[in-house]
Structure 1
Amino acid sequence: MLRQLDTFPLVQFLLHNRGLNGEWTDYVIRRGPVEANLSPLEHFLIHEAPVVLATRERAGIFKEKLQKLVQDGVHMASLPCGMMDDLLSLNFKGVPNVTLTGIDLDQQSQILLPNIKRL
């Protein structure tokens, strides 16, 4: 089973880095559930693994709570920000003055983040 796990880029990254960066966290929480052509093991990791389901549920709860705080003049921060999906996925329609700040030690996230346009 370990050999099979080591064939997936997600697991390779996780084992090599002892954790996930912003890009992989974004994949697991937001993009992974819509991926097609997953092997049975990948499907389990993305759709059934308790740690992933708990992380996805927690992200949903945070999003719900944060959305209630969106108002004109709000300054929101994400730390560690990763791909800032926690803030960039919020609905800011009708809220003209919003400041978002992202802080993360993950260099990859800092490089990719300016290229994300979700607002």
Structure 2
Amino acid sequence: MFLDHAAADRLYALYHLIAFRGLRRGEACGARWVDAELDEGLLATARQPNNVGRQVKEGSPKTESSDAAVALDSGTVAVLRAHGERQEAERLAAGPAWIDSARPRPGRKATASTR
């Protein structure tokens, strides 16, 4: 029911990864396009963000078994491809204000505080 409700949310691909592929929140948030082999149906979970004090730092996954390739079913591959197309449209619309996060989640548009 949650995924049906969240289908139009910009973070749907993230929710889908967590629900259908069993990724932990940090593993899903740390996923990068460079780690995705969509044609082969694989996603490496080599990095994840961690809170260190008041800053977010990128580090290794929680466990050694988390640092592995996750098999992606055809439905998840389709969700990620659609998300990539939406992300590319957002990048083109933002122009030079786009900040490339290299993540399969929505990028951020630059604001006065991030320029």
Length-normalised TM-score, structure 2: 0.34
Which structure features the higher share of helix residues? 1
From the two aligned structures, give the one with the greater strand fraction: 2
State the TM-score, normalized to the length of structure 1. Answer: 0.33
Rg larger in 1 or in 2? 1
